[in-house]
Chains A and B, each alone.
Chain A
Amino acid sequence: GENVEQHPSTLSVQEGDSAVIKCTYSDSASNYFPWYKQELGKRPQLIIDIRSNVGEKKDQRIAVTLNKTAKHFSLHITETQPEDSAVYFCAASTALGGGSQGNLIFGKGTKLSVKP
Chain B
Amino acid sequence: SQTIHQWPATLVQPVGSPLSLECTVEGTSNPNLYWYRQAAGRGLQLLFYSVGIGQISSEVPQNLSASRPQDRQFILSSKKLLLSDSGFYLCAWSVSTGTFDQPQHFGDGTRLSIL
Bound together, the chains give a CA A96 to CA B97 distance in angstroms of: 11
Q: Give per-residue flags for A65-102: 1 if the beta carbon is below 8 A from chain B beta carbons, else 0.
A: 00000000000000000000000010001111110111
Report the nearest A residue to B105, measured CB to CB: A46
Residues of A within 8 A of B108 (CB): 42-43
Residues of B within 8 A of A100 (CB): 57, 59
A34 adjacent to B103 (CB under 8 Å): yes
Chain B, interface SS category: loop
B104 adjacent to A104 (CB under 8 Å): yes
Residues of A within 8 A of B101 (CB): 31-32, 51, 93-95
Q: Is B44 an interface residue (CB 8 A)?
A: yes
Which of A15-23, A55-63, A105-113 participates in binding chain B? A105-113
A102 adjacent to B99 (CB under 8 Å): no
Bound together, the chains give a CA A36 to CA B58 distance in angstroms of: 23
Residues of A in contact, count (CB < 8 Å): 28
Residues of B within 8 A of A98 (CB): 100
B43 adjacent to A101 (CB under 8 Å): no
Residues of B within 8 A of A43 (CB): 90, 106-109
A107 adjacent to B100 (CB under 8 Å): no
Q: How far is the CB of A115 from chain B (nearest CB, A)?
A: 20
B100 adjacent to A95 (CB under 8 Å): yes
B59 adjacent to A103 (CB under 8 Å): yes
Q: Is B70 an interface residue (CB 8 A)?
A: no
Residues of A within 8 A of B107 (CB): 43
Q: How far is the CB of B114 from chain A (nearest CB, A)?
A: 18
Bound together, the chains give a CA A107 to CA B45 distance in angstroms of: 10
Q: How far is the CB of A36 from chain B (nearest CB, A)?
A: 8
B34 adjacent to A95 (CB under 8 Å): no
Q: Is B82 an interface residue (CB 8 A)?
A: no
Q: Is A45 an interface residue (CB 8 A)?
A: yes
Q: Is B46 an interface residue (CB 8 A)?
A: yes
**A93-B100, A95-B99 known; A106+B43 contact, CB < 8 A:** yes
Chain B residues close to A by CB (< 8 Å): 32, 34, 42-44, 46, 49, 51, 57, 59, 90, 99-109, 111
